[in-house]
C-alpha cells in the first residue's frame, strides 16, 4: 500500500517511524483509533536502530539524583521483559572497581542497593577481586579491588520498532515508510487540519486530513515544530559503536567500565554473535539528513578505553568488522558537558500538533502516553492509560514442538502473531553465518515487511549487514536466491541493489580508520 491508496482522513497522523512514533502508533491503534504513521526513510532508520540496545533504568540518573526517572525506567524495563520475552531479554552487567579511579566500592554498593530497591528485588552482587579475574582474566588487574554485577535487559531496537508497527497495523493502523511529511496545514483558527507528504516510492505529494498530529521525529523534531521555549533547543549528540567478532572475547554479559580519559561509563557487550563497544557522546555538526558515521577520533577513544580495561585482550581496530553511529535527540538550554545533558523527554502542544522528543528507547511507552494525553481533546473516544500489552503469545495450537524453545521464543518475541508464518512457510531455521539471525527471518521480511532497498533488509530487518564481514558481501548471492520470489526485483535491479548496499555500507558502516 502507498499513500495514494489510503483514506483521505485519519484520526491521527504520527510523524516519524522510530521507537517513539511506533509506540504512539501502536498505543493509538490499541485504543481503537485509525492512526497513519509516516516515516521519511525506512522504519527505525533514525536513532532507533543505532542505540546501545539496553533496556535499563540508567544508573547514571541515580548519580544525578533523578530517582523518579530511574524508578520509571526500571519499571518499564520489567514491563518490557514481561511483554516481549524473546525480543527483550535479561542481560547481566559486570563493572570492575578500582582503588585509584572510578566509583568506589562503597558508592556502587549504595547506588545499586537503591537500584535494586526501585526494581523491588535485589538485582546486584559484589564479586571479589580474585573471582573477577577468574571470570575475565583479560581485565586490568592493577588496582582492581572487586567488581559489581547487576541486571538490566537488552533489545533489538529496530525489531522492537517493527514489532510495534506490525502489531499496530494488525489492529487497524496504516504505516508507510519512505514518505516524508513536508507540511502541517491549519484551519482559519490555527488548528491542525491536514498534513502534506511526499511519497518517494510513487513521487506523489499528497494531503491527508486529520485533527491531530504527533511529531515524533526525534533529533529532527524542530524542523516541523520549533521549540516554544526560548533558548531551549535540540542539541544533536552523536554516539558511536564499534562491532567486533564474538570470538575476540566470548562474553555472556556486559563489561561496563569507566573510560580513563574522561571518566564516562562505556561498555563492551555481546549481541547477535558479536561484541559491541560503545559509546561516545559528542556534538554532531554534520547535516541530519545523511547517515551519521563513526569518526577516526571516536574510534581511537573507544579503543583507548577497551585496551585500558582489557589489556589482556590485546585488540586492535583491525579486528573491527563494522561500525554504527546514532544521534541522541537531546534538548539543551545551558550547553553543559555532553554527557551531563538531561535525557528527559519534552512534550509541546500547539492546537492539535504535539511534539514528543528526547527520552530513551526504554521509556518509549511513557512518551507515547504523554503525547496521546496531550492531544486527547482532538481525538475521538475517552482518555485511557492502559499498560503496554502484547496480545500475541506463542500460539498453543501451532505444531512446532520440534523447534527449540529458544528459536520459538526469539520468533514470537520479534514477530508476534506472524511468528507462526515464519515457522510455517519458511522452514530454514538455520542461522546466517555466525549471527543468530535465521534464514527464515530474511525471507519473511522480504515478503511482508515493506522492503524498499536491500539495506532495509540487511541493516534493519535482520541486521546481518552489521555482523558479517564486509557487510555480508559473501552472502549476497544467497540472499538474492532466497528473496527473489518475494521481492519484485529482476536481475538488473538486484545488481543495482547489491552495489548500492555495498557502497552505502562502505560509506557509513565500515570500520573507521583511526
Ligand atoms: C548511541 C546511542 C545509544 C543509545 N542507547 C540507548 C540505550 O541503550 N537504551 C535506551 O533506552 N536508549 C538509548 N538511546 C536513546 C534512544 O535510542 C533514543 O532515545 C530513541 O531511539 C529515539 O527514538 P525516536 O523515535 O524519538 O527518534 P528516531 O529513532 O530518530 O526516529 C525519528 C524518525 O523520524 C523520521 N523523520 C524525520 N523527519 C521526518 C519527516 N519530515 N517526515 C517523516 N519522518 C521523519 C526520521 O527518519 C527518523 O526515522 C541511545 C541513543 C544513542 C544515539
CA quadruple 476, 482, 487, 490: dihedral sign: positive
Single out the residue of 220, 294, 215, 297 nearest to residue 262, CA to CA.
297
Task: Judge contact between 310 and 260, C-beta under 8 A.
Answer: no
Q: How far is the CA of 361 from the centre of ligand 1 (A)?
A: 8
Q: How far is the CA of 48 from the centre of ligand 1 (A)?
A: 4
Would you state the cell numbers that stand for residue 143, as one nine-digit string? Answer: 588496582
Percentage of residues in the chain having pLDDT higher than 70: 96
pTM: 0.96
- Residue 451's Cβ-count burial label (10 Å; 0-12, 13-18, 19+) is buried
Integer Cα distance of 251 and 499 in angstroms: 34
Residues 77-102 have a mean pLDDT of 95
Any ligand 1 atom below 6 A from CB of 181: yes
Integer Cα distance of 487 and 323 in angstroms: 28
Any ligand 1 atom below 6 A from CB of 218: yes
Tell me, letter by letter, the H, E, C secondary structure of 138-191.
Answer: CCCCCCEEEEEEEEEEEECHHHHHHHHHHHHHHCCCEEECCEEEEEEEECCCCC
Query: What tens digit of pLDDT does each residue of 21-75 get?
Result: 999 999 999 999 999 999 999 999 999 999 999 999 877 777 778 888 888 999 9
What band does 384 get if pLDDT is binned at 50, 70 and 90? low
Any ligand 1 atom below 6 A from CB of 184: no
Residue 395 in this model has a pLDDT that exceeds 60:
no
Pocket-testing residue among 46, 223, 330, ligand 1, by greatest number of atoms within 8 A of Cβ: 46
Residue 273 DSSP label? T
Count other C-beta atoms under 10 Å from residue 389's C-beta. 10
Cis previous bond, 279, omega within 30: yes
Query: What tens digit of pLDDT does each residue of 107-121 get?
Result: 898 888 888 888 888
Which position has the higher pLDDT, 15 or 335? Answer: 15
Would you state the cell numbers that stand for residue 477, as one nine-digit string? Answer: 548471492
Residue 418 in this model has a pLDDT that exceeds 80:
yes
List of domains in the chain: 3-48+158-232+342-378 (3.50.50.60), 94-152+237-336 (3.30.9.10), 426-508 (no CATH)
For 19-54, give the DSSP string: HHHHHHHHHHHHTT--EEEE-SSSTT-SGGGSS--E
Atom of ligand 1 nearest to the CA of 16: 34
Helix (H) or strand (E) holding 504: helix 491-508
**What value does the mean pLDDT of the chain take?**
93
Task: Note the pLDDT of residue 291.
Answer: 97
Atom of ligand 1 nearest to the CA of 359: 19
Count other C-beta atoms under 10 Å from residue 446's C-beta. 23
Count other C-beta atoms under 10 Å from residue 303's C-beta. 17
Q: Where are the alpha helices (DSSP H) in 181-267?
A: 221-224
Pocket-testing residue among 51, 89, 213, 294, ligand 1, by greatest number of atoms within 8 A of Cβ: 51
Task: Judge contact between 77 and 54, C-beta under 8 A.
Answer: no
Integer Cα distance of 472 and 486 in angstroms: 20
Residue 393 in this model has a pLDDT that exceeds 60:
no
Any ligand 1 atom below 6 A from CB of 96: no
Task: Note the pLDDT of residue 115.
Answer: 84
Any ligand 1 atom below 6 A from CB of 292: no
Integer Cα distance of 326 and 136 in angstroms: 30
Task: Note the pLDDT of residue 117.
Answer: 87
Angular region, 415: left φ>0, alpha ψ -120 to 50, beta rest: alpha
SS3 339: helix
What band does 390 get if pLDDT is binned at 50, 70 and 90? low
Q: How far is the CA of 158 from the centre of ligand 1 (A)?
A: 10
Amino acid at each position: 500500500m502507498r499513500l495514494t491508496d489510503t483514506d483521505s482522513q485519519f484520526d491521527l497522523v504520527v510523524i516519524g517511524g522510530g521507537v517513539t512514533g511506533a509506540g504512539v502508533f501502536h498505543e493509538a491503534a490499541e485504543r481503537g483509533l485509525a492512526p497513519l504513521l509516516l516515516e521519511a526513510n525506512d522504519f527505525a532508520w533514525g536513532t532507533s536502530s543505532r542505540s546501545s540496545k539496553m533496556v535499563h533504568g540508567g544508573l547514571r540518573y541515580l548519580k544525578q539524583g533523578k530517582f523518579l526517572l530511574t524508578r520509571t525506567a526500571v519499571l518499564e524495563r520489567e514491563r518490557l521483559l514481561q511483554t516481549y520475552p524473546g525480543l527483550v531479554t535479561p542481560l547481566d552487567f559486570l563493572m570492575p572497581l578500582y582503588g585509584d579511579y572510578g566509583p568506589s566500592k562503597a558508592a556502587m554498593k549504595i547506588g545499586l542497593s537503591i537500584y535494586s530497591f526501585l526494581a523491588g528485588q535485589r538485582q546486584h552482587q559484589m564479586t571479589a577481586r580474585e573471582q573477577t579475574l577468574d571470570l575475565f582474566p583479560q581485565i586490568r588487574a592493577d588496582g582492581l579491588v572487586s567488581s559489581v554485577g547487576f541486571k538490566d535487559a537488552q533489545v533489538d531496537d529496530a525489531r522492537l520498532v517493527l514489532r510495534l508497527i506490525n502489531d499496530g497495523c494488525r489492529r487497524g493502523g496504516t504505516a508507510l515508510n519512505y514518505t516524508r511529511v513536508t507540511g502541517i496545514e491549519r484551519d482559519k483558527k490555527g488548528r491542525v487540519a491536514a498534513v502534506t507528504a511526499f511519497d518517494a516510492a510513487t513521487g506523489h505529494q499528497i494531503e491527508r486530513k486529520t485533527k491531530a498530529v504527533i511529531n515524533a521525529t526525534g533529533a529532527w523534531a524542530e524542523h516541523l515544530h520549533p521549540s516554544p521555549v526560548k533558548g531551549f533547543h535540540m542539541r544533536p549528540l552523536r554516539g558511536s559503536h564499534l562491532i567486533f567478532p564474538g570470538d575476540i572475547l566470548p562474553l555472556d554479559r556486559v563489561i561496563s567500565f569507566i573510560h580513563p580519559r574522561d571518566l564516562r561509563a562505556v561498555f563492551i557487550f555481546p549481541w547477535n554473535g558479536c561484541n559491541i563497544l560503545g559509546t561516545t557522546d559528542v556534538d554532531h555538526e554534520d547535516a541530519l539528513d545523511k547517515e551519521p558515521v563513526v569518526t577516526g577520533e571516536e574510534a581511537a577513544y573507544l579503543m583507548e578505553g577497551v585496551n585500558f580495561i582489557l589489556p589482556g585482550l590485546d585488540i586492535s581496530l583491525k579486528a573491527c568488522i563494522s561500525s554504527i553511529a546514532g544521534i541522541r535527540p537531546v534538548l539543551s538550554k545551558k550547553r553543559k558537558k555532553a554527557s551531563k545533558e538531561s535525557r528527559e523527554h519534552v512534550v509541546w502542544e500547539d492546537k492539535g500538533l504535539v511534539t514528543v522528543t528526547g527520552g530513551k528507547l526504554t521509556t518509549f511507552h511513557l512518551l507515547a502516553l504523554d503525547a496521546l494525553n496531550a492531544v486527547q481533546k482532538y481525538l475521538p473516544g475517552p482518555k485511557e492509560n492502559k499498560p503496554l500489552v502484547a496480545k500475541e503469545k506463542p500460539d498453543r495450537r501451532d505444531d512446532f514442538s520440534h523447534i527449540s524453545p529458544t528459536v520459538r521464543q526469539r520468533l514470537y518475541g520479534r514477530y508476534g502473531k506472524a511468528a507462526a508464518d515464519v515457522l510455517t512457510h519458511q522452514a530454514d531455521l538455520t542461522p546466517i553465518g555466525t549471527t543468530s539471525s535465521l534464514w527464515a527471518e530474511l525471507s519473511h521480511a522480504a515478503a511482508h515487511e515493506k522492503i524498499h532497498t536491500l539495506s532495509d533488509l540487511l541493516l534493519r530487518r535482520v541486521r546481518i549487514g552489521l555482523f558479517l564481514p564486509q557487510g555480508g558481501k559473501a552472502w549476497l548471492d544467497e540472499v538474492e536466491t532466497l528473496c527473489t520470489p518475494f521481492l519484485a526485483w529482476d536481475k538488473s535491479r538486484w545488481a543495482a541493489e547489491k552495489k548500492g548496499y555495498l557502497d552505502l555500507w562502505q560509506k557509513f558502516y565500515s570500520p573507521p580508520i583511526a
